[in-house]
C-alpha cells in the first residue's frame, strides 16, 4: 500500500468533449516514435464503442480474485492514425492533404451519436486516463515486475528498463490503458504527469481543461476536494468497480435532466438517460449518487447553500487542486488512510 | 545496388564460416533431435497451446576458439518484422509511426547454459537457473536480433547489454539459426527454447528442451 494515494475526480456534467485534454497529453507525452496510436488520455462518447473498441466488453481485471485477461486489442481496435500531408500540400503543389484511405475507425468514432430513450437523445463524454488502481491488474500480471506502484503517491509506472514488451499488462488491464510501443518493444502508459505532480502542478489534462472538470489531490487528505467528493459527500464513483482493481480516478456521473415531458420531476422518475446504462458503468451505487446530487441541486434552488455544488463549480485552481510538494515524504496535515 | 549488397553479405558470411546456417561446414556435423515441450498456460482462462513444433535439431561445431551452435526447427509461419529504427526522438521532423500491429509476436530461440561449470550431475533449474546455479542465455529474436542475458531463477532474467554474432535463415517452412558462442568447456550442458510468434509466444510461454550434453 502506498503512503498516500493521488487521485482525480472528473465531473462528467462539465465535459465539453473538446479533446483539449487529449491534445495536451499527446503533445506532452505521446509525441514520440511508435506512440502515434496511443492516447494516454482519451475522451469517448457514451454510449459508444470507446477506445480501444469495446474495451469495456472484452475482459481484464479480476474475477473471484483471479486475473481474467482479455485478448490484446489490435490496431483496428485503436483506430487508424494518419498525418496531414502538409509538406506536399503547401510546398510541392500537391492537392491531397488528408489520407487517401477512408478511415474505418478512430478513437472517438461515434462522436455525438448517442442513443435514444423514447425518442429523446442522450449522450455524454467520458474522459479516461489510467486509473492508477489500488489493486492494479497490470502490475499483478507482469512476470518481470516491470510495473510498480510508487510508495509515495500510488502512481503506477512501467520501468522501461525492465519491460520486455510481453503485453500481459495490456491483457490484464480492464480499462485498456496500457499500450504497446512496438518500435521500442515496451509497454507505455499514463504517468499521472508525475514530474508535474512532484512540483505541485496539476496534470496537463487537468490544467488545460476549459471545462474545469478535473479535481486532483490526495484521497487521504481531509482538506482535498477529491477526498470531500469521494469520501465525505460520496458523489463520485470509479468505473467498473466489479473489475476488482479499485480505481483511483472517480467520476461525478452525468446528471441529465428528466425527459422533456417530465419537467420538475425527479431525474429518477423519468430519466432521459437509462439508469441501467449508468449502473453498467459505475455500479448500482450510481442511483444513490444521482439522488444525492439531486438533493444538493434542490437545496441550492431553494436558496440554501451546497458545498458539493460550490466544489463542483471549481472556480479556480485553489478549489480544484490540492497537491502538496513532494519532499522525501509528502506531508499532509491530518492525513488518514483512505 | 541491392545485388551488390547481397554479394557483400554473402562473402562476409563465407568468411565467418559456420555462422552462416547454410554453410557447407554444417553438412558434416550430425544433428541431434531434441524433443520440445510446452510450458503450461499462465492463466486458468487460457487454453493449453497445441504442440505445433515437436522438436528442434541441434548441431555443435568447434572452430577457431569458438563454439558454434545451429538450431533448426519447422515453423509454418515466419513471424518476423523489420522494425524502423526508433530513437525516442521528440524533436524529429517526422515521427516514426507504429508499423503494423499491437498484438503480434516474433519467432525466437535461445540457448541456455550454466554460468559456472556444473559439479556432479546437478544441472541448474530449467526455469532460468536458480540462486546457486546462475545461467547465461543466448537469445535470438527474429525481429530484434541477438542479446545475451543472465538469470538466477524464474523472473530474474535480465539483459547484459551485450550481443553476440548470430545469423538466421527461413526457408521451406524451417528456421535455421547459427550462433557463435565462446569456447565452451567439454561437457557443458545446453537447454534450448523456441518461441512461435503465431502462437503468441513470449516470455515463459514457449517450447523448451530438457538439459542436453553435446558430445
Series of mean pLDDT values for 10-residue runs along chain B (215 residues): 36 61 96 96 84 98 93 97 65 52 93 90 91 96 96 92 97 98 93 97 96 92
Averaged pLDDT, A121-131: 96
According to DSSP, the residues that pair with B150 across neighbouring strands are B136, B158
Sign of the torsion angle spanned by Cα atoms A222, A228, A233, A235: negative
If you measure CA to CA, which chain A residue comes closest to B98? A34
Residue B51 covered by a domain? yes
Nearest to A34 among B42, B44, B86 (CB): B86
Chain A contact present for B82, CB below 8 A: no
Residue B50 covered by a domain? yes
Rg of chain A (C-alpha set)? 21
Kindly report, residue by residue over B69-113, the tens digit of the pLDDT: 999 999 999 999 888 766 554 444 455 555 557 899 999 999 999
Chain B contact present for A69, CB below 8 A: yes
Chain B contact present for A181, CB below 8 A: yes
- Is there a contact between A142 and A255 (Cβ–Cβ < 8 Å)? no
Q: Which CATH number fits domain A6-80+107-322: 3.40.50.1970, 3.30.70.20, 1.10.3470.10, 3.40.640.10?
A: 3.30.70.20
Residue B24 covered by a domain? no
Nearest to B87 among A33, A37, A165 (CB): A33
Domains of chain A, by residue range, sit at 6-80+107-322
Averaged pLDDT, A145-158: 96
Grid cell of A262 as nine digits? 417530465
What pLDDT does B56 receive?
A: 98
d(CA B110, CA B91): 37
* pLDDT above 80: residue A333: no
* pLDDT above 80: residue A328: no
Chain B contact present for A283, CB below 8 A: no
- With CA atoms as reference, report the closest residue to B195 among B207, B184, B185, B187: B207
For chain A, give the percent of residues with pLDDT over 90.
72
Residue B45 covered by a domain? yes
Residue B181 covered by a domain? yes
Sign of the torsion angle spanned by Cα atoms A179, A181, A185, A191: negative
Give, in degrees to the nearest 5, the angle at Cα A196 between A213 and A327. 120
Q: How many helices (H) and strands (E) does chain B have?
A: 1, 12
Size of interface A-B (CB pairs under 8 A): 94
Residue B126 covered by a domain? yes
Prediction pTM value:
0.90
What string of H, E and C letters represents the secondary structure of chain A? CCCCCEEEEEEHHHCCCCCHHHHHHHHHHCCCCCCCCCCCCEEEEECCCCCCCCCCCCCCCEECCEECCCCCCCHHHHCCCCCCCHHHHHHCCCCCCCCCCCCCCCCCCCCCCCEEECCEEECEEEEECCCCCCCCHHHHHCCCCCEEECCCCCCEEECCCCCCCCCHHHHHCCCCCEEEECCCCEEEECCCCHHHHCCCCCCHHHHCCCCCCEEEEECCCCCCHHHHHHHHCCCCEECCHHHCCCCCEEEECCCCCECHHHCCCCCCCCECCCHHHHHHHHCCCHHHHHHHHHHHHHHHHCCCCCHHHHHHHCCCHHHHEECCCCCCCCCCCCCCCC
Kindly report, residue by residue over A192-251, the tens digit of the pLDDT: 999 999 999 999 999 999 999 999 999 999 999 999 999 999 999 999 999 999 999 999
With an 8 Å Cβ cutoff, are B86 and A184 in contact? yes
Burial of B45 (0-12, 13-18, 19+ CB in 10 A): middle
Chain A residues with CB under 8 Å of B43 CB are: 66-69
Nearest to B97 among A66, A81, A180 (CB): A81
- With CA atoms as reference, report the closest residue to A167 among A135, A193, A134, A189: A189
Report the CATH number that the domain containing residue B44 is assigned in CATH.
Answer: 2.60.40.1190
Q: How many residues does chain B have?
A: 215
Chain A contact present for B42, CB below 8 A: yes
Chain A residues with CB under 8 Å of B92 CB are: 33
What pLDDT does B1 receive?
A: 32
Question: B127: domain range?
Answer: 31-79+104-208
Counted domains in chain B: 1
Averaged pLDDT, A264-290: 93
Chain B contact present for A88, CB below 8 A: no
Amino acid at each position: 500500500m502506498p503512503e498516500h494515494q493521488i487521485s482525480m475526480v472528473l465531473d462528467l456534467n462539465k465535459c465539453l468533449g473538446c479533446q483539449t485534454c487529449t491534445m495536451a497529453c499527446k503533445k506532452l507525452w505521446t509525441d514520440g516514435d511508435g506512440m502515434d496510436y496511443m492516447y494516454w488520455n482519451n475522451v469517448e462518447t457514451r454510449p459508444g464503442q470507446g477506445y480501444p473498441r469495446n474495451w469495456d466488453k472484452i475482459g481484464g481485471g479480476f474475477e473471484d480474485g483471479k486475473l481474467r485477461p482479455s485478448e490484446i486489442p489490435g490496431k483496428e481496435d485503436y483506430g487508424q492514425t494518419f498525418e496531414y500531408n502538409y509538406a506536399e500540400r503547401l510546398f510541392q503543389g500537391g492537392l491531397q492533404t488528408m489520407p487517401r484511405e477512408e478511415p474505418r475507425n478512430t478513437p472517438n468514432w461515434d462522436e455525438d451519436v448517442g442513443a435514444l430513450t423514447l425518442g429523446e437523445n442522450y449522450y455524454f463524454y467520458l474522459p479516461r486516463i489510467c486509473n492508477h488502481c489500488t489493486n492494479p491488474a497490470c502490475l499483478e500480471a507482469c512476470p518481470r515486475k516491470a510495473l510498480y506502484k510508487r510508495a509515495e503517491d500510488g502512481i503506477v509506472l512501467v520501468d522501461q528498463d525492465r519491460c520486455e514488451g510481453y503485453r500481459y499488462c495490456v491483457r490484464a488491464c480492464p480499462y485498456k490503458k496500457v499500450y504497446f510501443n512496438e518500435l521500442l518493444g515496451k509497454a507505455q502508459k499514463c504517468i499521472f504527469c508525475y514530474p508535474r505532480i512532484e512540483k505541485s502542478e496539476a496534470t496537463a489534462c487537468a490544467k488545460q481543461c476549459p471545462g474545469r472538470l478535473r479535481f486532483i489531490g490526495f484521497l487521504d487528505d481531509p482538506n482535498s476536494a477529491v477526498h470531500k467528493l469521494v469520501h465525505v459527500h460520496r458523489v463520485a464513483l470509479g468505473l467498473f468497480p466489479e473489475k476488482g482493481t479499485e480505481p483511483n480516478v472517480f467520476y461525478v456521473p452525468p446528471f441529465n435532466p428528466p425527459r422533456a415531458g417530465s419537467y420538475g420531476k425527479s431525474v429518477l422518475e423519468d430519466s432521459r438517460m437509462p439508469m441501467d446504462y449508468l449502473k453498467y458503468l459505475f455500479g448500482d451505487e450510481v442511483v444513490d449518487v444521482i439522488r444525492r446530487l439531486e438533493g444538493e441541486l434542490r437545496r441550492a434552488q431553494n436558496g440554501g447553500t451546497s458545498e458539493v455544488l460550490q466544489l463542483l463549480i471549481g472556480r479556480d485552481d485553489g478549489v480544484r487542486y490540492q497537491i502538496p510538494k513532494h519532499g522525501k515524504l509528502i506531508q499532509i496535515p491530518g492525513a488518514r488512510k483512505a | 545496388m541491392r545485388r551488390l549488397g547481397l554479394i557483400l553479405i554473402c562473402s562476409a558470411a563465407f568468411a565467418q564460416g559456420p555462422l552462416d546456417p547454410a554453410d557447407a561446414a554444417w553438412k558434416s556435423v550430425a544433428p541431434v533431435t531434441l524433443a520440445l515441450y510446452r510450458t503450461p498456460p499462465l492463466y486458468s482462462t487460457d487454453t493449453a497451446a497445441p504442440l505445433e513444433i515437436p522438436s528442434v535439431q541441434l548441431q555443435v561445431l568447434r572452430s577457431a576458439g569458438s563454439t558454434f551452435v545451429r538450431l533448426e526447427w519447422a515453423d509454418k509461419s515466419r513471424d518476423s518484422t523489420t522494425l524502423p529504427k526508433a530513437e525516442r526522438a521528440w524533436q524529429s521532423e517526422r515521427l516514426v509511426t507504429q508499423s503494423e500491429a499491437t498484438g503480434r509476436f516474433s519467432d525466437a530461440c535461445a540457448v541456455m547454459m550454466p554460468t559456472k561449470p556444473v559439479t556432479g550431475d546437478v544441472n541448474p533449474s530449467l526455469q532460468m537457473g536458480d540462486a546457486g546455479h546462475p545461467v547465461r542465455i543466448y537469445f535470438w529474436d527474429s525481429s530484434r536480433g541477438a542479446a545475451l542475458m543472465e538469470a538466477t531463477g524464474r523472473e530474474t532474467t535480465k539483459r547484459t547489454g551485450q550481443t553476440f554474432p548470430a545469423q538466421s535463415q527461413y526457408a521451406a517452412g524451417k528456421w535455421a539459426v547459427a550462433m557463435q558462442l565462446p569456447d565452451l568447456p567439454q561437457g557443458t550442458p545446453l537447454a534450448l527454447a523456441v518461441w512461435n510468434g503465431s502462437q503468441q509466444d513470449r516470455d515463459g510461454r514457449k517450447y523448451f528442451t530438457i538439459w542436453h550434453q553435446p558430445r
